[in-house]
Chain A
Amino acid sequence: MQVDWTIYLTFLGAGLILLLPRDSKNLIRWVALLTGVAALLVGLKNYFDYNAWVNAELAAHNGVLTDGFKQIVNVPWIPALNVNYHLAVDGINFPLIILNGFVCVTGILFSWNIENRVKEFFAFFLTLIAGVYGVFMSMDLFLLFVFYELAIIPKYFVIAIWGSTRKEYGAMKLVLYSFVGSALVFIGILAVFFSAGGQSFDILELVKHPLAPEVQIWVFPLIFVGFAVLAGMWPFHTWAPTGHVAAPTAASMLLAGVVMKLGSYGCFRAAMLLFPQGLEHWKWWIAVLAVIGIVYGAGVALVQKDFKFIIGYSSVSHMGFVLLGLATLNVMGMSGAILQMFSHGIVASLLFAVVGRMVYDRTHTRQLDELGGLAKVIPFACVTFVIGGAASMGMPGFSGFVAEYQILVGAFQMHPLLALAAGLSIPLTVAYILNANNKVFMDRDEPAGGHGHGHGSEESSHPPLPPITLPEGVAAIILMALLVIVGLYPSIMLNMIKANMELFLRGGR
């Protein structure tokens, strides 16, 4: 079963759920879960096959890859517009496909407790996931755009119906920003198509016929910014904190974990790939804005009083790393960027799961001042948060370290100041993670005095909270394991990423 079955299986699952009676909630959940798992397994199987193939190729050809793509399907769709249904995978989008799969499965597990309109929730969620799979695999600009847009509307509903704080406002803002971003992309796509002679929307074809530099200079920012909005690039990021906070847990996981990566992926695949001269012209802008975003996100996260906002701004900060890595135009930075997309995808999912599902669903508050001492009551949540937080701050042993450090090295090679400024965010990240951990999970300090009872009483000031459920535990463990596995053995992902990036930078594809 080829990897495009991830798309079809997920759509099928969504369709199947629509047919189920709305009261059989458990059945719906299980169908959703099995769909997600099935798609993930398909993805993983193909991933490892591809990984083996890449390693074999590298070994056979002296560490150099000649063609990284594995074509899946390429049939004409709308001949009148020269649009093809063209899907392919390479080392750049495969990690993201797997990311999507994991976030889907764990998102479903973390949403196991939703009781209101279960059917529609999972139908929308799966549609969104399917659309995302499609975007990652599309090699035709039109097709990519179609999948991209397809994913926008379910986002609105998921947030507006099942969200929390200011959900309708947050949903509308998010969707409109995404849509405006995609409008810019739309214009860009039309421009590209016609400038290249109106022959094809196919990315791999268009790469062979680059546009004139004067055209690239204005088309590139159109498409790049269009996608960068979704990636949360400063200053177009303002939808992100509001939207993430308003969204229900699984949606936040998906939004911060995967959808923002859609944006950065689009930046790479549609903008950078097709307009190298445009990129050259604009890369300093991108790098600087990315760095601003990194530091700004971290700084603002530090002063937040709402737990979820901290994570929301943290996402903006980490996506800045991705964009910085992409702008460096060297192997280190760009490979780091792709790895960071995967790593932060998992980290964000994990952290939002802690904030939303584990803490908020139980305590009904996200204000740091009102929380505290939860480590005694739900220790598993504390562990999860610490691991996610450690990965977030780039602690070695977790995937975030490898990714961020690569980006920093790459940025350093572009200009040392960039790396320095971006590196500044790491202490800030340490600070806000620590702050959050202290305020939410640890006890408050008692007034100083020499009589040491200080352990806090076993009967803590917190009323007992419901224990962590099995779905939550399983999902959290899956995500944490991923962080550790990729952290300790990054070759499992880095090999294919690096090989393909080298190919890209050599002027291949």
Chain B
Amino acid sequence: MNDHPLTSLFGYFALLSLFAVGGANAAIPEMHRVAVELMHWMNDRQFADMYAIAQMSPGPNVIIVALIGYHVAGFAGGAIATAAMCGPTCMLAFLVARVWDRFKGARWRMAIQAGMVPLSLGLIGASAFVLARTADHNVYGALITAATAGVAFFTRVNPLWVFVAAGVLGLGGWL
């Protein structure tokens, strides 16, 4: 799979998308494993930066794959990575949607649905862990992370303001 960057982009993202229950956030550790550890497309800091940019831009968080793809292979890379991440799972969603309603109340349907919940929780938790290890290099970074988690858990403040405040703190050279 390493003959051409576009081929490996497509192969890795198409494969990982099929196991990403819990959405883009559940796939972050696998993206990090492939992009940083396996393929050496980028370093930890670049990966963390791209996560931040994807969070700050409007729309679904999955667009981080367009940033990674662009970094690896320009415009074609961004397009291929996005298509690979969304294409196969969209086909699956389309096909399942047609039959799903027919089995409403079926025991196996409820078992599959309930069985996926803990896995997606574990995977999203792993994303937070991997990102924190990649990005929080000192006690101030960890404090900002902890403070944001507290604010987001206990209040309904728009995350945009937290991002602005954290960006200003970062600019001040605390991190």
Decide whether A and B are members of one complex.
Answer: no
